Amino acid sequence: MNGAAARMPEASAITVPVPLGDRAYDIHVGRGLLGEAGRRIAALGARAAAIVTDENVGPLYAAALAASLEQNGLRTATIALPPGEATKSYASLERVCDAVLAAKIERGDLVVALGGGVVGDLAGFAAAVVRRGVRFVQIPTTLLSQVDSSVGGKTGINSRHGKNLVGAFHQPSLVLADTGLLDSLPLREMRAGYAEVVKYGLIDDPAFFDWCEKNWRGVFAGGPERDEAVAQSCRSKAAVVVRDEREDGDRALLNLGHTFGHALERITRYDSARLVHGEGVAIGLAQAFRFSAALGLCDEADARRVEAHLAAVGLPTRLSQVPGGYGTVDDILEAMAQDKKVKGGALTFILVRGIGQSFIARDVPVDRVRAFLQDEITPSRP
């Protein structure tokens, strides 16, 4: 595998700049970028890199990445963690920080995250705190992490009090999204990541949603449409993050579909056999549109169109599609209340006036949410 990296021709890449002042960086999107990672990363000027990966991804790509880095003059060490959400723990943070220090990574050196969202969040957090901050590079290996968690600088681990409650804002110095790596992704994971792609169109880019409807087959098949979908998603997210790096305002729009989605993840106890994050988001997106329509904010035709597209790619859009059930209306409301603060009987929601017309709605009465959910679970609905 090592030799293959060196022999590959230079990959063409789409570059998405993230203009965050002295924390600005580029996202490169393209097929085959892993093979030339060493050259692109060496341009950052470090002398050493600690590669953080998991035991699924590591055996596939870590040796090639290390070889590519070493061919370009960087000393490397590799740290492989068990895959899965349980790895985003205090114990893993200690393990990664100590391993990065053992690898003699200095302030000018790098942590390279090679994996999905779990690896990116954990390695990014370790990079934020080792020596009070070293640079890091993201090489996201899932569609979800290429379009979501690798943009925005949020890093962290889970606490027993909730997910992602301990962490740091720490922007990467470079993101390499090799879309060829997605060829071996299970279809279910591909679909789940695609829910976040669609979300960017629904937030504020109706033309991109049109494009998704026309081009989704190419995204799944791995044509140039895949690169474009990843790049456009990164552009969209970057635009929001640049407006609101520390999540005090507009960044909340990125939560479209997530209030309902997180509640379903909580109800299914984060059991990925039942529901993965993107599936919860897909149902949540469809619900956000149906709820907006029920409130008279959005045309019912838009809600039907969103649902139809998500269903076409094989994503769930209805509570009845949650394997093992979703509990009662009160169960869902309680799960939502854990995520969002209920103030005086009202919730903050991301609602829509149409496709690409989302907005932050404060003071949504809980009673309206309850009535909507009641309507969602009546057998008369399809």
Locus of tokens 């969002």: 340
Catalytic residue among 277, 290, 309, 318: 277
Using CA of residue 193, residue 260, residue 339, residue 335, what is the dihedral sign?
negative
In the complex, which residues of this chain contact its own copies (CB under 8 A)? 90, 93-94, 97-98, 101-102, 125, 128-133, 154, 156, 159-162, 165-169
The residue among 60 and 242 lying less far from its own copies, judged by its C-beta, is 242
Asked if 104 is an active-site residue, the reply is no
C-alpha 304/C-alpha 286 separation (Å) is: 8
Asked if 341 is an active-site residue, the reply is no
Catalytic residue among 28, 191, 196, 307: 196
C-alpha 144/C-alpha 102 separation (Å) is: 31
Tell me whether residue 196 is annotated as binding.
yes
Asked if 277 is an active-site residue, the reply is yes
Asked if 258 is an active-site residue, the reply is yes
The residue among 56 and 159 lying less far from its own copies, judged by its C-beta, is 159
Asked if 132 is an active-site residue, the reply is yes
CB of residue 350 to its own copies, shortest distance in Å: 19
Tell me whether residue 120 is annotated as binding.
yes
DSSP 8-state secondary structure symbol assigned to residue 11: P
The residue among 248 and 269 lying less far from its own copies, judged by its C-beta, is 248
Q: How far is CA 37 from CA 58, 199, 246, in A?
A: 15, 29, 29
Q: What is the DSSP string of 177-223?
A: EEGGGGGGS-HHHHHHHHHHHHHHHHHH-HHHHHHHHHHHHHHHHTS
Q: How far is CA 198 from CA 134, 150, 205, 281, in A?
A: 34, 17, 10, 10
The residue among 133 and 324 lying less far from its own copies, judged by its C-beta, is 133
Catalytic residue among 170, 226, 262, 290: 262
Host H or E run for residue 349: strand 346-352
Query: CB within 8 A of 152, min separation 6: which ones?
Result: 237, 241, 251
The residue among 255 and 317 lying less far from its own copies, judged by its C-beta, is 255
Catalytic residue among 170, 258, 266, 318: 258
Asked if 94 is an active-site residue, the reply is no
Q: How far is CA 361 from CA 27, 28, 55, 352, in A?
A: 31, 34, 42, 9
CB of residue 209 to its own copies, shortest distance in Å: 31
Catalytic residue among 23, 47, 95, 251: 251
Tell me whether residue 154 is annotated as binding.
yes
CB of residue 86 to its own copies, shortest distance in Å: 15
Task: Give the annotated binding-site residues for NAD(+).
Answer: 117-121, 141-142, 154, 163
Active site residues: 132, 154, 196, 237, 247, 251, 255, 258, 262, 277
Known binding site for Zn(2+): residues? Answer: 196, 258, 277
